[in-house]
Amino acid sequence: MYIVTSTVTVPTDKIEEVIEIYRKRSRRVDQAEGFTSFRLIQNTKKRHELTVHLEWQTKAAYMAWVKSQEFKEIHDLEKNYPDQELAGIVPKVHQYEVVAE
C-alpha cells in the first residue's frame, strides 16, 4: 500500500469553507486505477490544520494518477479558486510506503 498526505494550514475563519469544499469534491480520483481511499482529517489540537489522506494499492498507481489529465484538471481548478487567500495555500505533501501491517 502507498499513502500520500497533503497538509494545509488554513485561516481559522476559512476552516469550515475548506471542509465543505472537500465534502463536495468531484470524486474523480475515486475512479483512478489502484485508488483505495480518501479522507480529509483535521488536527485535534490545531483545528486549522487539515490533511488529505489518500491510499493507493501501489506507488505506480499513484504516479499514473499524478500524470493523468484528470489530476491536471483538478489541480488547475484549485489554482484558479476565486478566494485568492485559499488558492495561495501551498500544501506539504508526504509519501509513504506501508512496510508492515
- pLDDT at residue 80 is higher than 70: no
The angle that helices 69-79 and 59-66 make with each other, rounded to 10 degrees, is: 60
10 Å CB burial of residue 30 (0-12, 13-18, 19+) is exposed
Per residue in 17-67, pLDDT tens? 999 989 998 899 999 999 999 999 999 999 999 999 999 999 999 999 999
The phi, psi pair for 31, rounded to 5°, reads -90, -5
Q: How crowded is residue 4: how many other Cβ atoms within 10 Å of its Cβ?
A: 17
pTM comes to 0.88
Helix, strand, or coil here: 88?
coil
Residue 46: partners with Cβ closer than 8 Å, 6 or more residues away: 9
**pLDDT score for 84:** 72
Q: Model confidence at 4, in pLDDT bands (50, 70, 90)?
A: very high
User: Given a cut of 90, is residue 79 above it in pLDDT?
Assistant: no
The domain over range 2-97 is classified in CATH as 3.30.70.100: yes
Distance CA 49, CA 74 (A): 21
Which sequence spans correspond to the domains of the chain? 2-97
